[in-house]
Chain A
Amino acid sequence: MSNENITQEEIMAIYPKVAEMIADALGCDVENVKPDASLINDLGAESIDFLDIIFRLERGFKVKIPRGKIVEQARGALSEAEFESGGVISEAGAARLRVFLSEVPADRFKTPLKSAEIPKLFTTETFCKLVLRQQRAAAEAPPAA
């Protein structure tokens, strides 16, 4: 459930492959896909590109990533109402996001933060962590019947 014990070594181990997939999806040079690059602000991603990136990660890492998983995981134990209201993230929600998206430089979190702007925070590392979490979840889950 928690991601705080994901190590930098684990992230960097899959980073080259994730970066390559993101570069392919966005049609940019892989050198530009830095670990802390914002996919939207720095690399020009649009919404369909996120679907494409998830698809490529699923195929490349043989994991299943339900759509909307990042925000759902970010919310953690908070209910939707506790997390946001009227499209604006609550203080508790913002605090939770800062921990969950620990890879995102602190100055990128605006106050107040609109929920529609959360995807602007996502970096290459965010997707590395997403893959690692899904890999762990799959390993911990009882084998499918």
Chain B
Amino acid sequence: MNQRKRIAITGVGMVTPAGNDAPTTWANLQAGRSGLGTIRHFDASGFPVRIGAEIKNFDAAAVINNPKLLKHATRPHRFALAAAEEALTDAGIRPTANDGHRWGFCVGAGMMAMDFSELQAAQKVSAPDGEFHADKLLSDDFPADPVAFSRNQTNSGLALLTRHFGIRGYATAVHTACASGGQALGTALKVLRRGQADYVLAGGFDSMLNPTGLSAFCLLGALSTDNDAPEQASRPFDATRNGFVLGEGAGFLVLENWEAARARGAKIYAEFAGDGNSLSCYRITDSPPNGDGPIQAMRQALADAGMTPDLLDYVNAHGTSTMMNDRSECAALRAVLGDHVGHVAVSSTKSCMGHLISAAGAVEAAVCALAIRDGIAPVNANYHTPDPDCNVNIVRGQSKRMRIRAALSNSLGFGGSNSCLIFRNPEEVQ
């Protein structure tokens, strides 16, 4: 195999239910402090699930001083703008008029585009008697917001962020459900290795915490109904787990060529060493019980990183806290890690910040970067009762101080999309 270009992570930014920036998020994840609670930003009292992982006390205008830009930004776009700004500031480099064309942008874009209130308004006017009347939709009774359409496209976030930051090179918005963020990062890695860009701002954003998103997951029975104990509701790998907790947020990383990063004296969190991407070809919402699909993604990522499993010390699991996902993922981990499985610390930080859907893979990649930097495997909160079907080495009780040579992050999506990313400690890079 040809010598690949080495890619460095030099900046991270996060807006998560555990904190409105990366340092706060990371501190809370290490402490196992939950960002989950009763849903506040819309009235969820009529739903069987009334808990979520919300972004709290967030003011985009405090970070992004551009009211006109914010007019076009949905809730998750605002998280994305703030997280991306933090990542660029952290990296100490940003696109300029001279090199904007050498910057790329790859993003896992949110699953829900249209705001519920817009759907509701259209329904109210066009179907007053319950039947849809096309002629009423654009009638005089309903001044329809023309900006809504441009705000609600899957690439709207991409358009907004690239324009704001002056990124003019390779850009793509990926949507593969819960694997989106991971696959966007994987795409960024390939773009950099191919030399299509010198820098990529890569990440993900999402918010399905709205009546449509919440009701959809309620109908699928995928969410924890522990309304009275939200902080304990997300308990990946615990035998008593009963579903995931829907979250929202954004995460971004600045990726660049290793040698260039070294040359400019950048701090390097980790090498972004490998990407694996597979489809389970199984069922829409079921995870393959034997881990088929995730297994291939993990093996591809290891091969891509040129690594054997014994070099891994930490896995940031997809670990949603649903019965099926956690079993399937553990089966895959056992298959891929073999005899080494007991030596690899595994945790799902969704235990503290819920499931960020399209943002999850990017946020958890940022978590891996910080875990490597600080030598800390963050705790898998709320893990008390082992499940014999999830027999892996869970980080239990408290975060574990340990040197991490390499970390692996899984993101496994609806429809069978699987993403696996591998990050290597800079000290391990010769």
- Residues of chain A whose beta carbon lies under 8 Å from any beta carbon of chain B: 24-28, 44, 48, 51-52, 55, 58-59, 64
Residues of chain B contacted by A55 (CB below 8 angstroms): 143-147
Residues of chain A contacted by B147 (CB below 8 angstroms): 48, 51-52, 55
Residues of chain B contacted by A59 (CB below 8 angstroms): 143
Residues of chain A contacted by B143 (CB below 8 angstroms): 55, 58-59
A52 interface neighbour in B66, B70, B146, Cβ under 8 Å: B146
- Top 10 closest A-B pairs, CB basis? A27-B68, A27-B67, A51-B146, A58-B143, A59-B143, A52-B147, A64-B140, A27-B71, A55-B145, A55-B143
In angstroms, how far is the closest chain A Cβ from the Cβ of B333? Answer: 48
- Report if A27-B150 is in contact (Cβ < 8 Å); known contacts: A55-B143, A55-B144: no
Q: Which of A26, A27, A64 has the most CB of B within 10 A?
A: A27
Q: Would A48 and B68 count as touching, CB distance under 8 A?
A: no
Q: Would B145 and A27 count as touching, CB distance under 8 A?
A: no
What's the dominant secondary structure at chain A's contact region?
Answer: helix
In angstroms, how far is the closest chain A Cβ from the Cβ of B219? Answer: 34
In angstroms, how far is the closest chain B Cβ from the Cβ of A3? Answer: 22
In angstroms, how far is the closest chain A Cβ from the Cβ of B121? Answer: 11
In angstroms, how far is the closest chain A Cβ from the Cβ of B81? Answer: 14
Q: How far apart are the CA atoms of A52 and B145 in the complex, in Å? A: 7
Q: Would B70 and A27 count as touching, CB distance under 8 A?
A: yes
In angstroms, how far is the closest chain A Cβ from the Cβ of B285? Answer: 38
Q: How far apart are the CA atoms of A16 and B66 in the complex, in Å? A: 23
Residues of chain B contacted by A28 (CB below 8 angstroms): 67-68
Q: How far apart are the CA atoms of A28 and B68 in the complex, in Å? A: 7
A44 interface neighbour in B68, B70, B144, B145, Cβ under 8 Å: B68
Q: How far apart are the CA atoms of A58 and B143 in the complex, in Å? A: 7
Q: How far apart are the CA atoms of A44 and B71 in the complex, in Å? A: 14
Residues of chain A contacted by B69 (CB below 8 angstroms): 27
Q: How far apart are the CA atoms of A72 and B150 in the complex, in Å? A: 26
Residues of chain A contacted by B68 (CB below 8 angstroms): 26-28, 44
Q: Would A48 and B150 count as touching, CB distance under 8 A?
A: yes
In angstroms, how far is the closest chain B Cβ from the Cβ of A142? Answer: 15
Q: How far apart are the CA atoms of A64 and B142 in the complex, in Å? A: 10
Residues of chain B contacted by A48 (CB below 8 angstroms): 146-147, 150
Residues of chain B contacted by A27 (CB below 8 angstroms): 66-71
Q: How far apart are the CA atoms of A118 and B250 in the complex, in Å? A: 42
**Closest A residue to B69 using CB positions:** A27
Residues of chain A contacted by B71 (CB below 8 angstroms): 24-25, 27, 52
Query: Can you spell out 24 A-B residue pairs with CB atoms less than 8 angstroms apart?
Result: A24-B71, A25-B71, A27-B66, A27-B68, A27-B69, A27-B70, A27-B71, A28-B67, A28-B68, A48-B146, A48-B147, A48-B150, A51-B146, A52-B71, A52-B145, A52-B146, A52-B147, A55-B143, A55-B144, A55-B145, A55-B146, A55-B147, A58-B143, A59-B143
Q: How far apart are the CA atoms of A24 and B144 in the complex, in Å? A: 17
Q: How far apart are the CA atoms of A59 and B148 in the complex, in Å? A: 15
In angstroms, how far is the closest chain A Cβ from the Cβ of B82? Answer: 17
Residues of chain A contacted by B144 (CB below 8 angstroms): 55
Q: How far apart are the CA atoms of A26 and B71 in the complex, in Å? A: 8
In angstroms, how far is the closest chain B Cβ from the Cβ of A141? Answer: 12
Excluding A28-B67, A48-B147, 15 further A-B contacts by CB distance (< 8 Å) are A26-B68, A27-B66, A27-B67, A27-B68, A27-B69, A27-B70, A27-B71, A51-B146, A51-B147, A52-B146, A52-B147, A55-B143, A55-B144, A55-B147, A64-B140
